[in-house]
Amino acid sequence: MSVHKVADVKRVTTHTLQAMKRAGEKIAMLTAYDFSMARILDAGGADVLLVGDSASNVMAGHETTLPITLDQMIYHAASVVRGVQRALVIVDLPFGTYQGDSKMALKSSIRIMKESGAHAVKLEGGQEVEDSIRRILSAGIPVMGHLGLTPQSIYKFGTYTVRAKQEAEARRLLKDAKMLDELGCFGMVLEKIPAELAQKVSESVDVPTIGIGGGMHCDGQVLVTQDMLGITKDFHPRFLRRYAELFDVIREATQAYVSDVKAQAFPNDKEQY
Ligand SMILES: Nc1nc(=O)c2c([nH]1)NC[C@@H]1CN(c3ccc(C(=O)N[C@@H](CCC(=O)O)C(=O)O)cc3)CN21
Ligand SMILES: CC(C)C(=O)C(=O)O
Ligand SMILES: [Mg+2]
């Protein structure tokens, strides 16, 4: 190992994920957008941290993922990379930085890799982004695909309903998944599609599938961390399981602090100089 490396934790790589699929060990992925949370999730054993463009919703309060910029994604990604010792860090290519122009896709991906220190990029779509994927891969940058509900296309579909319920769309998705596999993507997210289809895809490709509303047969699962921790409010899709109610925990702590300050109970004589 390089003399410049301090820690000697065994890092997760894209190759680790392939080995996990072969061994039948499920992959646990969560989103992260900042240093402090990345440290906690890494300490908790998350295999993969996704710097999702859901930062547009969760961090910035936008309605959709469309407004977040490449500069903003790089800022989030660099912060996450500094917080991680073990997890693989993947970064979403934001809307408008890879579609329809493979040169731009490569340039955007190179900026992410160079300026954030992340390990891979993710992009949404199948056949329509084939050229972009080829070009990014040709520079040695690992690419993850994302099929099914693709939030950057929300204005094309109009709703966040389950995708590929009809036979024709299911066939299209399976074909896209095989294409991503054959192009050399190291994995793919399957978002909000029937469990049976996700199972068929998972059995038809060599690389790991990571489900969000893709059911139990995916090779791994991903959730938005703030959803899983109960920080986001009024978001209750069927695929979401909440492992904490941090909105309430943080609100209660805030109320206690506010009340202490008002009552002049904080700071006390030991908490001053
Ligand atoms: N906080 C958060 N969590 C996410 O999972 C997430 C984001 N933001 N932003 C980007 C995308 C958008 N995603 C979404 C958005 C909506 C549903 C969804 O199921 N919405 C409705 C049902 C809509 C319908 O059936 O018409 C729901 O039940 O909440 C799922 C995933 C997933 N991503
Ligand atoms: C929900 C996951 C897969 C994602 O793309 C995001 O968080 O942006
Ligand atoms: Mg995303």
ipTM of the complex in this document: 0.96
Q: What are phi and psi of 187, to 5 degrees?
A: 175, 175
Q: Establish whether 124 is an annotated binding residue.
A: yes
What are the mean pLDDT values of the chain's consecutive 10-residue runs (273 residues total)? 66 98 98 99 98 98 98 99 98 98 98 98 98 98 98 97 97 98 98 98 98 98 98 96 98 98 98 98
Confidence at residue 15, expressed as pLDDT on a 0 to 100 scale = 98
Produce one character per residue of 127-155: b if its CB has 16 or more CB atoms within 10 Å, e if not.
eebeebbebbbeeebbbbbbbbbbbbebe
Nearest CA owner, ligand 2 atom 6: 52
- The DSSP H or E segment spanning 264 is none
244 φ, ψ (degrees, to nearest 5): -160, 170
Strand residue runs (E) in the chain = 27-31, 48-51, 88-92, 120-122, 143-148, 187-191, 209-212, 220-223
**pLDDT recorded at residue 9:** 85
Q: What pTM does this model have?
A: 0.96
Question: Residues 139-181: pLDDT tens digits?
Answer: 999 999 999 999 999 999 999 999 999 999 999 999 999 999 9
At 23, is the secondary structure helix, strand, or coil? helix
127 near 169, Cβ under 8 Å? no
Q: Identify whether the C-beta of residue 143 lies closer than 8 Å to the C-beta of residue 135.
A: no
Q: Does the CB atom of residue 227 touch ligand 2 within 6 A?
A: no
- Residue 40 CA to residue 231 CA, distance in Å, equals 15
What's the CA-to-centroid distance between 213 and ligand 1, angstroms?
Answer: 10
Does residue 27 line the site of ligand 2, with CB under 6 A? no
3-state secondary structure of 255: helix
**Residue identifier of the C-alpha nearest atom 5 of ligand 2:** 52
- Angle at which helices 102-116 and 130-138 cross, to 10°: 40
Q: Could you give the residue numbers annotated as active site?
A: 191
Atom number, ligand 2, closest to the C-alpha of residue 122: 5
Give the position, in ligand 2's atom list, of the atom nearest the Cα of 65.
8
The Cα–Cα gap between 84 and 108 comes to 23
